[in-house]
Amino acid sequence: MDKNVEELEKWGFPLLELYRMALQFYKQNSGKAIHLSYEDNLKLIAFKQQASCGPFDPKDAPELGVLDVIGKDRRMHWQMLGNINREQAMEGFIDLLESMCSAFRPYVEAVRKNRDETLKEELKRMEREKQEKEQKEREQQELLEEGYKEEMQRRQLQDALNKQTYQQFKTYAEKQFPGNPEQQAVLIHQLQQEHYHQYMQQLHMQNHNNASENNGTNNNSTAATRDMADISASAAQPNTDELNKDLAKLSMEGQQQTEDQHHLQGHNEDGDDYVLIQPAKIWTRPDIEDFKVEVSAGDGDGVITIGHGDTVTVRVPTNLNGKSIFWEFATDSYDIGFGIYFEWSKPVTQEVTVHVSDSDDDDEFLDEDYLSTNEDLECGSMANDRSNLNNSPLKPPISIIVPIYRRECFNEVYVGSHTYPGEGVYLLKFDNSYSIWRSKKLYYRVYYER
């Protein structure tokens, strides 16, 4: 079809579209809604042939039979159109159909009206979607900006706290893990996190007390809001005199508490003193393939697939006939986070149990804000204070034996032992929460020595 035909319009439609609409209307309604004479039908068919094939050419036309009267009549009317072009033939077909059928023009108008309404609805829908998208983007941007500001304030405050307590915590970590910078760094980080949570709770309690004092006045809501704003401002500007005083006080209290806890011993129900927790012994050995075959050949309890983002806790109760715990573990291809904790609670079972939690769940057994950073039974008053604040029952004290950090246990078997500090439950943590895509296959074995 010629390009200029596609560019022509008639009755508000492109000429080609209107012609196809007229042709379809003629085919569907001929002999039904419209009744044309034999002569009128010949004229319409002639226009159709001219629009489809161009002017009549006797050389290309096949021969007609002697008795083919209709064929001869059609050719005669086709020849009568002469050399009019295709767009003229289309217009001729449309105009002739309109003049012979009064229902055709209303049909075209109805199609156009329906199309215009559909187009309007589509445009409205697109506009609504655009507005909703813009509104959602604005809200997301506002949330991001608000979250960014809060995060920056939190980091500024935590950086100020870390600077004031770093040397103190570094000295303590060097005493606990002499000659092991990696474990020292992990312990310092845990102490700094604990210190930050303690300070934030102090701010929260201060705000709560200020709000309670203003509870009986007409300006209670305004005063509480002002107090909250003051506290938020102090958090955003950690270099103010008031904050420095609080930090100095906390640092002194933390230093005294650390020194006291280092020498303090806990007491069990019978009044006996617990000895200080001894450091764990950790080493490696190269027979990793033999180890994995031995574990796999067992009853299957020693082989676990740890999903991406998951953490597995193996709870191992102390045995009445034992004095030490031993552990061995390895993985296929990738590293895994590993650490050991001790829960000071009387075991309710002698069975070794395995518990899985993902990174979005609250750990059923370990609360990082509750963990003791001490080497003895005393787990610090901060964790117990938090439990009381939350009106939740006190959890059993938990001490860190080996902090969690990633071990390249796909090259060697990691082995370790630890002397029982008393009656309780060892918590072996295998941490894959840092892995977004990969699951890890873990081979482990735990036993005790008489």
The whole-angstrom separation of Cα 246 and Cα 237 is 13
Among 200, 232, 263, the domain-final residue is 200
Window from 14-18, 112-116, 326-330 with minimum mean pLDDT? 112-116
Whether 193 shows a pLDDT value over 90: the answer reads no
Q: Is residue 413 part of a domain?
A: yes
Q: How far apart are CA 108 and CA 296, in angstroms?
A: 78
Q: Which range is least confidently modeled, 141-150, 314-323, 346-355, 434-443? A: 141-150
Does one domain contain both 307 and 442?
yes
213/302: higher pLDDT: 302
Percent of the chain with pLDDT over 90: 23
Amino acid at 331: T
Counting other chains too, the contacts that 62-68 makes at CB distance below 8 Å and 24 or more residues apart are none
Residue 23 CB contacts under 8 Å (≥ 6 apart), including other chains: 48, 93
Tell whether 49 and 146 lie within a shared domain. no
Measured between alpha carbons, how far is 390 from 111 in angstroms, rounded to an integer? 69
Share of residues in the chain with pLDDT > 70 (%): 74
pLDDT, tens digit, 9 for 90 and up, residues 213-248: 766 555 544 444 444 444 344 443 444 454 445 445
Q: Are residues 410 and 438 in the same domain?
A: yes
172 assigned to some structural domain = yes
* pLDDT: which is higher, 314 or 15: 314
User: Average per-residue pLDDT in the chain?
Assistant: 77
Residue 257 above 80 pLDDT? no
With contact defined as beta carbons under 8 Å apart, do 398 and 341 qualify?
Answer: yes
pLDDT surpassing 80 at residue 265: no
Report which of residues 134 and 395 the model is more confident about: 134
Last-in-domain residue among 185, 200, 215: 200
Query: Which of residues 149, 171, 200 is at a domain's end?
Result: 200
pTM: 0.39
With a cut of 90, say whether residue 445 has pLDDT above it.
Answer: yes
Q: What is the DSSP letter of 214?
A: T
Distance between CA atoms of 233 and 210, rounded to whole angstroms?
Answer: 16
Q: For the chain, give me the number of helices (H) and strands (E)?
A: 11, 12
In a domain, 312, yes or no: yes
Q: How far apart are the first and last CA of the chain?
A: 97
Question: 433 with 298, same domain?
Answer: yes
DSSP letter, residue 66: T
For residue 379, the model assigns a pLDDT of 38
How confident is the model over 36-59, as a mean pLDDT? Answer: 85
pLDDT of residue 384: 45
144 and 78 co-located in one domain: no
At 49 the pLDDT is 87
Same domain flag for 48 and 167: no
Weakest mean pLDDT among 76-80, 164-168, 273-277, 337-341: 273-277
Q: What is the DSSP pairing of strand 440-449 with strand 9-10?
A: unpaired
**Segment of 15-29, 109-123, 227-241 carrying the highest mean pLDDT:** 15-29
pLDDT tens-digit readout, 282-297: 999 999 999 999 999 8
Using alpha carbons, select from 295, 316, 282, 278 the residue that is nearest to residue 414.
282
184 or 361, greater pLDDT: 184
Residue 251 lies in a domain: no
Residue 33: its pLDDT value, please? 63
Contact 385, 309 (CB under 8 A): no
Q: Inform me whether the pLDDT recorded for 338 exceeds 70.
A: yes
Considering the domain architecture, whether residues 94 and 132 belong to the same structural domain is answered as: no
Instruction: Answer whether residue 156 shows pLDDT above 50.
Output: yes
* d(C-alpha 306, C-alpha 327), whole Å: 18
Per-residue model confidence (pLDDT) at position 149: 84
Residue 267's pLDDT band (boundaries 50, 70, 90)?
very low
Pair 64, 160 in one domain: no
Task: Check residue 107 and give its pLDDT.
Answer: 86
Q: Is the pLDDT of residue 132 over 50?
A: yes
Looking at residue 215, its pLDDT comes to 64
Q: Does 19 map to a domain?
A: yes
Residue 76: which CATH number? Answer: 1.20.80.10
Residues 162 and 132 in one domain: yes
pLDDT bucket at 6, cuts 50 / 70 / 90: low
pLDDT, position 262: 41
Instruction: Name the range with the highest mean pLDDT among 94-98, 220-224, 275-279, 305-309.
Output: 305-309
Q: Is residue 111 part of a domain?
A: no
Cross-strand pairs, 407: 336
Which structure tokens are listed for 352?
Answer: 């070794």
pLDDT at 219: 52
Determine the average pLDDT of the residues in 362-367: 44
Kindly report which listed range (4-8, 209-213, 243-247) carries the lowest average pLDDT score.
243-247
What pLDDT score does 73 carry?
86
Distances (CA, A) of 347 to 182, 275, 356, 403: 32, 19, 19, 22
pLDDT at res. 344: 92
CATH classification of the domain holding 340: 2.60.120.680
From the list 205, 202, 196, 207, the residue with the least C-alpha distance to 157 is: 196
Instruction: Give the pLDDT score at 271.
Output: 44
User: What is the domain range of residue 92?
Assistant: 9-101
142 and 43 share a domain? no
List, in order, residues 6 or more apart from 114 with CB less than 8 Å away: none
Q: pLDDT tens for residues 54-70?
A: 888 777 777 777 788 88
**204-208, 220-224, 412-416 — most confident range:** 412-416
Could you tell me if residue 206 is inside a domain? no
Using left for φ > 0, alpha for ψ between -120 and 50, and beta otherwise, residue 271 falls in left
Number of separate domains in the chain: 3
Which ranges constitute the DSSP H helices of 101-180? 104-176
Is the confidence at residue 122, as pLDDT, over 50? yes
Considering the domain architecture, whether residues 55 and 188 belong to the same structural domain is answered as no
Cα–Cα distance, 67 to 99 (Å, whole number): 32
Q: Which two tokens stand for residue 408?
A: 């390249």
Closest CA to 346 of 420, 384, 396, 410: 396
